[in-house]
Amino acid sequence: MESGVFEKANFRITGDCGLLVEYGEAIDPAVNQKVRSMAIVMQNNMPGGVIEIIPTYRSILIYYDPLITKPSILKETLTDLESSLSEIEIPPPKVVEIPVCYGGACGPDIEHVAQSHNLTPQEVIHLHSEPEYLIYMVGFTPGFPFLGGLPEVLHTPRLKTPRTQVPKGSVGIANGQTGVYPIASPGGWQLIGKTPIRLFAPERSNPFLYQAGDRIRFKPISSRDYQRLSDMEVK
């Protein structure tokens, strides 16, 4: 096993219509690249009977119609697809820039995050907006991106008591991850900022701005710019 990637995929039965295909053991960019590559190949060569594929950090969950196919057939198909990966051109990941107004009412927990690490809020903003984050998976709520690459100095535990309502667009930190809430929902992440951009819009032809395997870069903006962009989104 190199860089955390299994030499051979591990197949697990999940219920009467699910197959979990594992490509590694850890949250690792190399493992996630394998997941992304296989997901793209499967989407372009969807095996018969497959209803849906769901990429995660290190695996792909496949939902299938048991009246049309079965795990042994899917395993053989996926093994063949994996062996042909080197012959298939995988498109480069898209980089999506997301404007964020940090602190204040938009980021009520930024002071706590700063104090926890002997930093100033401005240093938190700089450190958080500097990396280009890999989207390991999308889930929890429609369009919620689980991002890897948060600087270790910003790793902060979740809230002891989750909020019953987190405003849509909120940017948060939970342990070694960061992410954005596309819709209002309960949540226990430390909120450090907020974006005015609609990350999930079901009326669009493509409701989401990104997918697993893409990358996100956060751009700090002022409260005035936040309001201006927010007004534009409403229009």
Distance CA 191, CA 156 (A): 11
Residue 17: its pLDDT value, please? 95
37 phi and psi angles, rounded to 5 deg: -60, -45
Distance CA 159, CA 1 (A): 36
Q: Convert the pLDDT of each residue in 141-181 to its tens digit.
A: 889 999 989 999 999 999 999 999 999 999 999 999 999 99
**Neighbouring C-alpha atoms within 13 Å toward the C-beta of 191:** 23
Distance CA 113, CA 120 (A): 9
Answer for the pair 34, 114: CB distance below 8 angstroms, yes or no.
no
Residue 162: its pLDDT value, please? 95
Distance CA 53, CA 15 (A): 15
Residue 93: its pLDDT value, please? 83
Residue 139: its pLDDT value, please? 83
Superfamily grouping for domain 95-234: Cyclophilin-like (2.40.100.10)
- Domain 5-87 class? alpha beta
What residue type is 229 in one-letter code?
A: L
Q: Convert the pLDDT of each residue in 54-69 to its tens digit.
A: 888 889 999 999 999 9
Task: Return the domain boundaries, the chain.
Answer: 5-87, 95-234
Residue 30: its pLDDT value, please? 85
Residue 83: its pLDDT value, please? 84
Low-confidence ranges of the chain (pLDDT < 50): 1
Task: List the structure tokens of 230.
Answer: 């927010």
What residue type is 75 in one-letter code?
A: K
Domain 5-87 and domain 95-234 have a common topology: no
Residue 100: its pLDDT value, please? 98
